[in-house]
Amino acid sequence: MTARQKSASPPSNAKARKNSLPGPDDIHREVLSNGVIVLTRPNFDSPSVSVNGYLFAGSLTDPDEKLGLSDFTAAALMRGTHKRSFDAIYNELESVGASIGFDSLTHTTSYGGRCLVEDLGLVLELLAEILQYPTFPDTEVEKLRAQLLTGLAIRAQDTGDMASLTFDKIIFDGHPYARPGDGYPETIQAITRDDLVDFHRRYYGTKGMVIAVVGAVEPAKVVAEVERTLGAWKSADQQEPPGLPSHKPLTKTVQEHYKIAGKSQSDLVIGVVGPKRKDPEYMATSLGNSILGQFGLMGRIGDVVREKSGLAYYAHSSLSPGIGPGAWEVNAGVNPTNVKKATDLIVKELDRFVKRGVTAEELADNQANYIGRLPLSLESNGGVAGALINIERYDLGLDYYRRYADLVKSVNRDEILKVAKKYISPDKLAIAVAGP
Amino acid sequence: MIKGFKETTLSNGLKVMLKEIHTAPLISSWIWYRVGSRDEVTGKTGISHWTEHMQFKGTKKFPASILDKSISRDGGTWNAFTYLDWTTYYETMPADKIDLALRLESDRMMNSAFNEKEVNSERTVIISEREGHENEPLFKLSEAVQQAAFRVHPYHHEVIGDMADLRSMDRSDLYNHYRSYYVPNNAVLAVAGDFETASMLKRVRGLFGRIPAGDTPKRLTRVEPEQNGEIRLTVEGPGETTFLEVVYRVPPASHPDFFHLFVLDSLLAGPSNLNMFGGGISNKTSRLYRALVDQEYAVSISGGAAATVDPYLYSFTITVHPNRKPEETLAALDNEIQKVQDELVSEQEVARAIKQARAIFAYGSENITNQGFWLGYAEMFANYHWFQSFLRNLAKVTTRDVQRVARQYFQSSSRVVGIYLPEGKTN
């Protein structure tokens, strides 16, 4: 299927719950005695349940020569436990149409699951077993290694992946964020089964662990089920997550080209280091980014690169703030002969953004968009679970989504101009290209 | 909870499907046209998809710049898709803002400008879209396989079209295509969400009722002759990874065997997710994962059939294990296919496939956009009843049915085997 985008008085008679946004009166938060933080919000309109969460094990602690260790560990968790083989774990899950998955990030490993409501107990039991008692069987580790290596071979041919990887190396030069969490072929080869066991022992534990459950279940039942399955987990050896060094800002524009022969399109990433999620200027930066490269058919960048010049099918900007600072970047896929033309247009747009900021109309449009689209992002159980995780990870407060409209409305044009100038210097950009 | 459902046809032939859902203050509106890449002749491939792009370039009443901003400002999301048999446009909006979407769709059913300058700037956007696809080994492979499978039937080309045609088509080609196919009697309007049926229907009549009917366009139908003998092809390109695509000819979605094949697919390759929104589940205990991935013939395997109007393809897509030759992996696949043809599967496996489908449908039902999608999508190849009775029909499938369809359709003499051979791989 091929799509357009990678992405009056109405006849409505709104009968849906007026206040569909989560808030302190319908989010239940409880901390178990071993430290596990449980968040839950019931939704009796749905026959299914979403389970999401994270714990503090991430690629930040990977040694350079074993980069990919956290990722490998997360991928190997479901390959067998003290009670069940890989096949037996998946047989339990797939037989009832349920799922569990893990994903290693820089600071944390996140997990997610989904099932019909009658199978919630089973999913929580399996999740607890996988987290506490993985056995990393040798044969399974070797099978997985071959799969990871194939993934890296495919990555090496992906212009989008390689442009991003090259970009991160430039903006985070000398900082752990410069490293790809899935490692390199030689570092994946260097990881042993003992490394996985050791990584799991050191970093998997209940300190700081969060679990959010959303679906047709009463909060008391959720807490009791999490207590039953995860309440007895003692993780005395769990190490504190490491601190984060600061990064060196660029002193001039740095451009690098990663060659991949035989491709008909090049990927282009241009950008800088942006804020952390908890920085007070987050909302102003987010709205500024939306105007720059998100709103409608991808904001000003989409308008200039795609609509006016016809240079690319996709051209947009994004912000990825987390526990630490994240990239603020523009991405576009262009014909290899148009790389220079597209780069010039994008840099010119960034320059205009930093010099003149945004218009009152643009800001009003984007504020309306942020507020208006909130119910859509929270319609599914997974969407609400993600929101609860967000609240916990960044200390946003249980009333965050109820205050959200006011937070969005409070941003003014001066603040956006200020963050634009603070983060973006058009003569100190990272420019990464991957393609022929 | 889910209440009213209404299906009616306006006097100009527009079919209207309405479904009230009051779980969230949202409404999703979809307009479907019976036109897709299978309606394109040589020289005009890709015209349906390009037309879809042009529908975002504005009308007199809704110029492009205003159009896009209005939907976004109101917190809506919108997009469009073109496939083999159909083209569709949707907007999901806060319930009190849906009128904008309805006004827009009624307007652009006949008033789009197709400005010459816009046609040319969109030409390079679509060429860029195709170049992005061509970066992917699996696109190149599947394009070659599809073309080998259909010599006569217009399912033979990719929806995006051939580069030669993208370079040569002009404004009049596109505009004529638009005016021929975008008529109310060739469309279905489906709206799902937080509204009251009587007032929604009144509004829909007011906006769409006066659009004049046109000649009902004839669909291009050239029946594919029988294939006599397996076709094998190779595609070479950059990389280190070998991929395999194996396709079999299967009946259209409206055929009763589609359900039997759905269960067979679930057993072999894991349950397919027919939802457009709302994820699926893993396939690690499917027969082929166990036999191919677990036994290290492959690194990944997936399979599935699209719901189409005319007979199309069931396809397996396999990433070959780096230590294997594609012929070894293919032999392992054949061995498993032989097993389902020779031995009855267990009743348990069939029951499991049904439970998996039930779960996937439940996940999809959380999403208003997905519910709106199904209302019209099912009409494109069967009717909404097909969707409503899907699980009931699945429940009737027996182990003998599964064996029969495996024997009937998974014949090597009527399949196409495509191999992507990486140039960087040293054997």
Average of per-residue pLDDT across B168-185: 98
3-class secondary-structure state, position A383:
helix
Same domain assignment for residues A266 and A187: no
Same domain assignment for residues A210 and A260: no
User: Each residue of B296-305: b (16+ CB within 10 Å) or e?
Assistant: bbbbbbbbbb
Beta-carbon contacts of A221 under 8 Å, excluding residues fewer than 6 positions away, are: none
pLDDT in tens, A109-123: 999 999 999 999 999
Q: What percent of chain B has pLDDT over 70?
A: 98
Question: Which residue has better confidence, A82 or B363?
Answer: A82
CB < 8 Å to A11, chain B = 98-99, 195-196, 199-200, 202-203
Identify the closest residue of chain A to B73 by CA–CA distance.
A369
Same domain assignment for residues A59 and A143: yes
A15: left (phi over 0), alpha (psi -120 to 50) or beta: alpha
Identify the closest residue of chain A to B294 by CA–CA distance.
A143
Average of per-residue pLDDT across A10-16: 46
Q: What is the DSSP string of B301-369?
A: EEEEE---SS-EEEEEEEEE-TTS-HHHHHHHHHHHHHHHHHSPPPHHHHHHHHHHHHHHHHHHTT-HH
Same domain assignment for residues A330 and A273: yes
pLDDT of residue B94: 94
Q: What angle do CA A66, A72, A78 make, to 5 degrees?
A: 155
Average of per-residue pLDDT across A285-293: 98
Same domain assignment for residues A264 and A223: no
What are the tokens at A139? 């044969």
pLDDT in tens, B368-425: 999 999 999 999 999 999 999 999 999 999 999 999 999 999 999 999 999 999 986 6
Q: Residue B59: phi, psi to the nearest 5?
A: -125, 180
Instruction: Yes or no: say if A210 and A39 are a contact pair by the CB < 8 Å rule.
Output: yes
Q: Residue B236: phi, psi to the nearest 5?
A: -110, 145
Neighbours of A174 (CB within 10 A): 10
Neighbours of B201 (CB within 10 A): 18
Average of per-residue pLDDT across B127-156: 97
B164 min Cα distance to partner chain A (Å): 15
Instruction: Yes or no: say if B149 and B141 are a contact pair by the CB < 8 Å rule.
Output: no
pLDDT of residue A132: 97
Average of per-residue pLDDT across B28-57: 97
User: Is the confidence at residue B125, as pLDDT, over 90?
Assistant: yes
3-class secondary-structure state, position B377:
helix
pLDDT in tens, B344-366: 999 999 999 999 998 888 888 88
pLDDT in tens, A115-171: 999 999 999 999 999 999 999 999 999 999 999 999 999 999 999 999 999 999 999
pLDDT of residue B2: 45
Record: fold of B231-422 = Cytochrome Bc1 Complex; Chain A, domain 1 (3.30.830)
Contact B359 A156 (CB under 8 A): no
Identify the closest residue of chain A to B289 by CA–CA distance.
A87
Sign of CA dihedral A86, A91, A93, A97: positive
Domain count, chain A: 2
Q: Which CATH number goes with the domain that contains A171?
A: 3.30.830.10
A112 min Cα distance to partner chain B (Å): 12
Contact B131 A87 (CB under 8 A): no
Per-residue pLDDT band at A9 (split at 50, 70, 90) = very low
Same domain assignment for residues A37 and A167: yes
Record: fold of B2-208 = Cytochrome Bc1 Complex; Chain A, domain 1 (3.30.830)
Per-residue pLDDT band at B276 (split at 50, 70, 90) = confident
Per the structure, the complete domain to which residue A68 belongs is given by 28-230
Alpha-carbon span B218 to B213, nearest angstrom: 15
Out of A47, A143, A150, the one facing B362 most closely (by C-beta) is A47
Interface test with A, best of B57, B118, B131 (most A CBs within 10 A): B131
Which part of chain B has CATH 3.30.830.10? 2-208, 231-422
**pTM for the complete prediction?**
0.94
Q: Is residue A244 part of a domain?
A: no
User: Each residue of B90-106: b (16+ CB within 10 Å) or e?
Assistant: bbbbbbbbbbbbbbbbb
Q: Is residue A16 part of a domain?
A: no
Q: Is residue A301 part of a domain?
A: yes
Return the closest-CA partner of residue B189 out of B70, B103, B74, B66: B103
Q: Residue A385: phi, psi to the nearest 5?
A: -60, -40
User: Is the confidence at residue A8, as pLDDT, over 80?
Assistant: no
Same domain assignment for residues A148 and A82: yes
Same domain assignment for residues A136 and A219: yes
User: Each residue of A77-110: b (16+ CB within 10 Å) or e?
Assistant: bbbbbeebebbebbebbbbbbbbbebebbbbbbb
3-class secondary-structure state, position B26:
strand
B321 min Cα distance to partner chain A (Å): 8
What are the tokens at B177? 């295509």
Same domain assignment for residues A190 and A314: no
Same domain assignment for residues A218 and A266: no
Instruction: Yes or no: say if B160 and B83 are a contact pair by the CB < 8 Å rule.
Output: no
What are the strands, taking DSSP E only, across B104-219? 187-193
Alpha-carbon span B303 to A164, nearest angstrom: 30
Question: CA gyration radius for chain A?
Answer: 23
Same domain assignment for residues A162 and A98: yes
Report the range of poorest mean pLDDT among A33-42, A191-200, B6-15, B268-277: B268-277
Q: Is residue A427 part of a domain?
A: yes
Q: Is residue A208 part of a domain?
A: yes
Same domain assignment for residues A261 and A205: no
Of A215, A230, A245, the domain-final residue:
A230
pLDDT of residue A166: 98
Report the range of poorest mean pLDDT among A7-21, A164-178, A375-389: A7-21
Distance in Å from the first CA to the final CA of chain A: 27
Q: Is residue A1 part of a domain?
A: no
Q: Is residue A177 part of a domain?
A: yes
Q: Is residue A146 part of a domain?
A: yes
